[in-house]
Structure 1
Amino acid sequence: MTKIKNRKEVVMTEEKLSEVVGPEAIIKFETGTIKASTLDTIIKMLPFEMGFCDADDKFRWFSNNPDRVHKRRVEAFGKSVLELHPGVAHHVKKVLDDFREGKADEFEFWFPKRNGQPGQIYQKFMAVRDENGKYLGSMDVTINLDILKDKEGKHAPETIKEFQELKPLDK
């Protein structure tokens, strides 16, 4: 198991976690352990997007899902989120100020897809705080709500009994 003796700021690059700490490095959480390379893979395949800006409102991280709703660039790392969202900067500033001041812990909304595409997007922003309540930054989660629609040929059971009666999928 890799232990980091001296904590230091990691410079944001295009490298994956597993490339920085090593693919076999074990990341220990309260709820278990996982290899860095496995965590990189899991984050990339989640059916939603995530992003993080630090306590100084600087954009620091995003999940690199292949079908993102919001396109992100590594060139945005270290830039102010207000600079990255000039059209709605006053709204973003209000949310982040409320998080920082402890007036709110989350903010969520739905909006239509852009470019005339049918469908809705759900976005939730959450204050990230340490165990003592100190504000560390903000995390956002974005979900294309189309994933919740009943897909052709698939049936969403409405009761637990229906679910239990489902036959295994043929391979």
Structure 2
Amino acid sequence: MSEMINNREKIELTADLRQEKLKEIILELHNGKSVEDVKAKFEEAVGSISVKEISQLEQALMQEGISVSEIQSLCSVHAEVFKGSIEDIHRSEQPEEQPGHPVHTFKLENKEIDKLVNFKIQLHFERFQQDDSKEHALKLVEDLNLLYDVDKHYSRKENLLFPYLEKYGIFGPTQVMWGVDDRIRDSIKKAKQLLTDYNGNKSEVMDTLYFVIREVTEMIFKEEHILFPMALNTLTEDEWIKIANESDEIGYCLTAPEKVWVPKRNEVDEEALSDGYIRFETGLLSIKQLELLLNHLPVDITFIDQNDVVRYFSHGKERIFARTKAVIGRTVQNCHPPRSVHTVEQLLKDFKSGEKDCEDFWIRFKDKYVLIRYFAVRDEEGSYLGTLEFTQNISPIQEITGEKRILSE
């Protein structure tokens, strides 16, 4: 027994010394040492590091008197130093690999964010660098409109995941990461504004875009190698269920969960899930019947809620305008090109103020003549609840002549 106690004391002492060494290394960075010098010392003195130790390290630095803002400025350097040295956390079960689990969804989004930033935006960044034409500036504005969807990714992390970590006394990483998230949001807005009002200040645009690309990429690494493993080793399954259930309210970034996550202990037959019924004032339909009914309508329907967020679209056989599940949870303004956003804004303003209840447009689109109708959705008291978009190809209707009173052969 005494031997076990002595071994435990040795382990605790080793952990304390390790923590001190890590603290010394970060403080050296803080005092101006180069990343390469510190990285070499880190590898020699420490070897590998667990996500738990990174969390403890950031909190220890805060207790030492280093402000959150200073730690945020070192955050990218931390990631560079720790790359390739963070231990894999082995679990007997890996719920984050199950589609619909919040971490699985976060990682799914990170893949799309990475593709957008390091392929599409990087390409347009290089083209703008060579030729700062209006065309190239507009391409980047459209890219940044898409990228600002990252706000939903960060908001779910900050408002759903962080509170649970803080419940377990993990404050350092959450405060540091939230600050970096805000800097990324501000930089995306700044880059978009600089490009929209471009007046030849090319170097400022390039610096801001470079910052966005670098920080978004670094944040993906920090989430997947530090935040998510730490959260998976801390939160209970019940807490993950609550996060998954509340995620729809905030929405998703560039993609959406592949399916609803049902933990093994709660697994039920898929048919049983679809047997739910909805009672309307004029009838009763199963969820399956309602979905099929909406998808069989010869029109496309999209619903935007009172906060301008896309909540639903029908999925018929031949949609006129392409829709993907990634639009669910996005603001409708970010689903339109910059040149038409002002029209969307005015339409919603008129609906919300009560000045209008509907608006119609008709356009030629490929081989179709398309009628697009918008209706303000209001409750019994007249309060605005959202907007219904109704799209239909009216070419076949315009071709109708005479009368038809018998069945087709």
Q: How high is the TM-score relative to the length of structure 1?
A: 0.76
For residue 132 of structure 1, the aligned residue among 381, 385, 409 is 381
After TM superposition, give the deviation of residue 44 of structure 1 in Å: 1.2
| Partner secondary structure for residue 362 of structure 2 | strand
Counterpart CA distance in 2 for 1:111 and 1:81 is 20
Map 1:1-171; keep pairs closer than 5 Å.
Answer: 11=248, 22-86=273-337, 87-113=339-365, 117-148=366-397, 150=399, 157-158=402-403, 163=405, 166=406, 168-170=407-409
Counterpart CA distance in 2 for 1:102 and 1:9 is 31
1:51–1:62 CA contact under 8 A, matched in 2: yes
After TM superposition, give the deviation of residue 15 of structure 1 in Å: 5.8
Counterpart CA distance in 2 for 1:42 and 1:14 is 23
For residue 193 of structure 2, what is the aligned residue in structure 1?
none
1:61–1:77 CA contact under 8 A, matched in 2: yes
1:22–1:36 CA contact under 8 A, matched in 2: no
Counterpart CA distance in 2 for 1:135 and 1:9 is 23
Higher strand fraction (1 or 2): 1
1:123–1:143 CA contact under 8 A, matched in 2: yes
- Provide Cα deviations, 1:66-96, integer angstroms capped at 9, x if missing partner: 2101111111111111111133110010000
User: Which one has a bigger Cα radius of gyration?
Assistant: 2
What residue ranges of structure 2 are gaps of 5+ in the alignment? 1-244, 252-256, 261-269
CA RMSD of aligned residues (A): 2.7
For residue 5 of structure 1, what is the aligned residue in structure 2?
none
Counterpart CA distance in 2 for 1:120 and 1:131 is 35
1:49–1:142 CA contact under 8 A, matched in 2: yes
1:105–1:127 CA contact under 8 A, matched in 2: yes
After TM superposition, give the deviation of residue 42 of structure 1 in Å: 1.2
Counterpart CA distance in 1 for 2:258 and 2:319 is 17
Q: How high is the TM-score relative to the length of structure 2?
A: 0.33
Counterpart CA distance in 1 for 2:259 and 2:379 is 26
Distance verdict in 2 for CA 1:156–1:22, change over 3 Å:
farther
- Provide Cα deviations, 1:129-160, integer angstroms capped at 9, x if missing partner: 1111111110100001134255xxxx8652xx
Give the fraction of aligned pairs with identical amino acids, expressed as a percent.
30
Counterpart CA distance in 1 for 2:321 and 2:286 is 28
1:59–1:76 CA contact under 8 A, matched in 2: yes
After TM superposition, give the deviation of residue 99 of structure 1 in Å: 0.3
What residue ranges of structure 1 are gaps of 5+ in the alignment? 1-7
1:99–1:127 CA contact under 8 A, matched in 2: yes
Distance verdict in 2 for CA 1:59–1:48, change over 3 Å:
same
- Provide Cα deviations, 1:29-73, integer angstroms capped at 9, x if missing partner: 111111111111111111110001111111111001121011111
Distance verdict in 2 for CA 1:97–1:15, change over 3 Å:
farther
